[in-house]
Chains A and B, each alone.
Chain A
């Protein structure tokens, strides 16, 4: 195991002056975008994807890592001060963060979030450093049926673990699968669901799905409610740093959240939502201050924020080693990879070790940058919250359309993104979870490929799915997740509460 020398090489690359600059720029832009209400990491990356066109792959990925961490932090600011979490992963943060801010403790709440993210980020990036090469080695023996079973598992867990209703989750998932099928069939070249439009032959880019569901949907939602909106912003004042009593309460949740986030992030469960809520409930159960939860318990921020950050490095494990993106954020990063013709998978660590290790090193650097640059500047960042909401949502619409136009340059795709946005609006109104749709659109085509590959190797014999132990094991786990939903609501809080504070 020469992980250390690989990582050292990565650091040597990432420590070039220009890359450090890129990391700083990424973190700053990411925070700026993330602090806009309703914008979370996945959308920040989707909107800023064009920014990376001008860079080499390493530089682009470093900027991306920076944007990710920055937007995560920006999301924490809006969750705590405005009670408008930009993405499912920050919903848990808002539950106690907003009451803390109302009680005049916004500073410590933010510091807990940032420092917790930092420590958890270090834990999980270390986890990634050691786990990823192992998984990559293991993945070399993976066969099509294993990939297929993994994706079934991802679909089942994101639908069953997230959201209140399996029916609505399934509709969302199948809608996503449908979007994923649009375009030319990869084996036969037959047109599927193109409805005669030549622009649809190439399929619908996942970036368009993300921009539609998050940016357009969110802006429509925000604009339609402006007439009735009550301003809930809390003024920021007082100290930022934690006092001794607070420090004593947060460090264990940070560590626990970091491990939970990494472990659940690296499993195909759709990213940050599951670990953040598990962490929130775990801290509530373990805390000596149970009565404070919901009213401003600092542990309620420390755990979920740590888990939120840590889940990102976790998600990178299946992304880098198997080429399977298990969250919207990971899918956007995969799109960025594909712009540079890099295909993540078991071979990535051998074909492009420099790139991988520089990326991992830049995750460490991004974490440090975040702490150094952003925490002291918090009073500057919250000025962004003063932007009038009408202009803000209009700006999000314009950027969303711009993002789509710069990828495709076609009117049809702009209309598609609007349609997806309208769909996203109604999904919010009727409480359909968004995560299954996104995962369906991302993984659907991969799943079909693996299924057909497996069957063509076995010459149409379905028994291949029941003879390989790994495949059977994964499928059994998927079945278990599906038939245990009566048990799971007791572990996860009802999504109903989460949606009221504006999930997704």
Chain B
């Protein structure tokens, strides 16, 4: 399906990407291992005590993380590198980061401004980031969608969603 020709610049970006991934995994493993030892020092290392499993998981993550790092540096996995390069070439990174930031903002404003306005704005913004330029259609879809979801969940399913600003209107 992906048949773009990969040039050497893309290949080196794939290489860098896999190495960053390895570094992130090892960093994460270090955090896990550190906390695991803290748990174990409080609760005990023994097989029946709460520290046992976390330490195993930490060691496992670290061990395989280092093995993965080796596969991206000393003993490279060329299939993976090539695939990573293709994936990198097909990814529009700015879109990715914008959407992630959008998600975090959405999560934070959900409670204060309420489900309907937050969702409608989020929907509109992400559709725009995704490349949609049909404003009128998107506004109609965004508003109808968020209103329909809100009332279906709160009225029919009995799930509480934040009313926020709408509280004054409703």
A contact set with B: CB distance below 8 Å:
50-51, 53-54, 83, 164-165, 167-168, 170-171, 174-175, 177-178, 181, 185, 187-188, 190-193, 195, 216, 219-220, 223-228, 232, 388-391, 393-395, 397-398, 401-402, 405-406, 409, 411, 414-415, 418, 421-422, 425-426, 428-431, 444, 448, 451-452, 455-456, 460, 462, 496, 499-502
Contacts and interface: CB of A to CB of B under 8 A. Distances in A.
Report which residue of B50, B93, B108 has the largest number of chain A beta carbons within 10 angstroms of its beta carbon: B50
Contacts of B50: 185, 187-188, 190, 192
B57 A177 contact: yes
A388 B132 contact: yes
Chain B residues touching A, range: 35 or more
Given A54-B157, A220-B96, A496-B79, A188 B49 contact: yes
Nearest to B83: A431
A4 to B, nearest CB: 37
Contacts of A193: 32, 35, 39, 54
A167 B92 contact: no
B153 A50 contact: yes
* Chain A binding surface SS class: helix
Contacts of A389: 130
13 contacts: A53-B159, A54-B156, A170-B60, A171-B64, A174-B57, A181-B53, A187-B48, A224-B99, A393-B130, A394-B127, A398-B123, A401-B107, A429-B88
A223 B99 contact: yes
Contacts of B146: 398
Given A398-B119, A411-B107, A411-B110, A54 B60 contact: no
Contact of A402 (B60, B149, B158): B149
Contact of A167 (B68, B87, B132): B68
B92 A185 contact: no
B113 interface: no
Interface in B89-133: 90-93, 95-96, 99-100, 103-104, 106-108, 110-111, 119, 122-123, 126-127, 129-132
B153 A402 contact: yes
7 closest pairs, A vs B, by CB? A390-B130, A185-B50, A390-B132, A224-B96, A414-B107, A227-B92, A394-B126
B48 A460 contact: yes
B92 A174 contact: no
B159 A226 contact: no
A386 to B, nearest CB: 13
B67 interface: yes
A226 B131 contact: yes
A391 B49 contact: no
Interface string B55-94: 0010011001101100100000101100110011011110
B40 to A, nearest CB: 10
B103 A401 contact: yes
A177 B32 CA distance: 11
Given A53-B158, A187-B48, A496-B83, 18 more contacts: A51-B157, A167-B64, A171-B25, A171-B68, A177-B60, A190-B50, A216-B103, A223-B130, A224-B93, A394-B127, A394-B130, A397-B99, A397-B122, A398-B145, A414-B107, A415-B104, A418-B104, A426-B21
A223 to B, nearest CB: 5
A267 to B, nearest CB: 24
B130 A428 contact: no
Contacts of B42: 190
B27 to A, nearest CB: 13
A496 B149 CA distance: 39
Nearest to A216: B103
Nearest to B125: A394
Given A51-B157, A165-B80, A406-B153, A226 B130 contact: yes
B112 to A, nearest CB: 11
Contacts of A175: 28, 61
Contacts of B158: 53-54
Contacts of B21: 426, 430
Nearest to A427: B21
Nearest to A449: B53
Interface string B150-164: 000100111111000
Nearest to A429: B87
A40 to B, nearest CB: 18
B18 A430 contact: yes
B39 A192 contact: yes
Contact of B68 (A168, A452, A456): A168
Contact of A223 (B1, B49, B95): B95
Interface in B13-40: 17-18, 21, 25, 28, 32, 35, 39
